[in-house]
A = this chain, B = another copy of it.
Amino acid sequence: MKLCHSTSSPNSRRVRMFIAEKGISTPLHPVNLGEKEQFSDWFKAVNPRQQVPVLVLDDDTKIAEVPAIWRYLEETHPERPWLGSDARSKALVAMWERRVELDGFAPTMEGVRNAVAGLKGRALSGPHDYEQIPELVERSKRRVANFYTDFDARLKESPFASGAEFSAADITALVTVDFATAGLKMPIPDQAHALQHWYEKVADRPSAKA
């Protein structure tokens, strides 16, 4: 088993953090996005969507998409269950992780991809070309600002994103905050005290360096 990834890919980081939280060891195979290696013939055969990360199993099965990779790792390494431990908590982790992704991570990605000069004509990752839409940059920033407000409200009533315990939802949220800070110059707002407190806790976990 090996993980095709990039250190500059926030989605890759979501998987590296999960692996670190599992305490397992997986060889990492870097894909150089700066040199457009994701469009190479060898990588297209690994993932027709031309995206990292991809987990390649020993039988050559290729698992792409962050939640799918997480699911495989959770099933094969059930100790430290970061996707929930019973039917109810599995559903709640899935719900909150997805809310963080749809309301926070996805608009951050959309804002960056529609703004960066190097992604002109490549506003969406994948095998097809789409032009940037400048209006989406401003809309994305408003969406990320709303995410910060809503997620801060959530963290006033819950220590972690999906409940009392750390879960994969916190991984997506941490990666989102760091990505929005670096990519959109949108750090956590000063008034979002619950979010700030949560961030300090989660960023202090060793996995955050993965």
Contact = CB atoms under 8 A, between A and B. Distances in A.
Those 9 A-B pairs whose CB atoms lie nearest each other, nearest first: A75-B87, A68-B94, A72-B91, A68-B95, A63-B91, A65-B98, A65-B95, A68-B91, A128-B146
Interface of A: 48-49, 55, 57, 61, 63-65, 67-69, 71-72, 75-76, 86-88, 90-92, 94-95, 98-99, 103, 124, 126-128, 130, 133, 135-136, 139, 142-143, 146, 150
Copy number in the complex reads 2
A156 to B, nearest CB: 13
A75 B63 contact: no
A168 to B, nearest CB: 12
Given A61-B92, A94-B71, A98-B65, A133 B133 contact: yes
Q: Is the interface of A mostly helix, strand, loop or mixed?
A: helix
Contacts of A71: 87, 90-91, 94
A69 B92 CA distance: 9
Contacts of A55: 91
Contacts of A99: 49, 64-65
A83 B197 CA distance: 36
A63 B49 contact: no
A68 B92 contact: yes
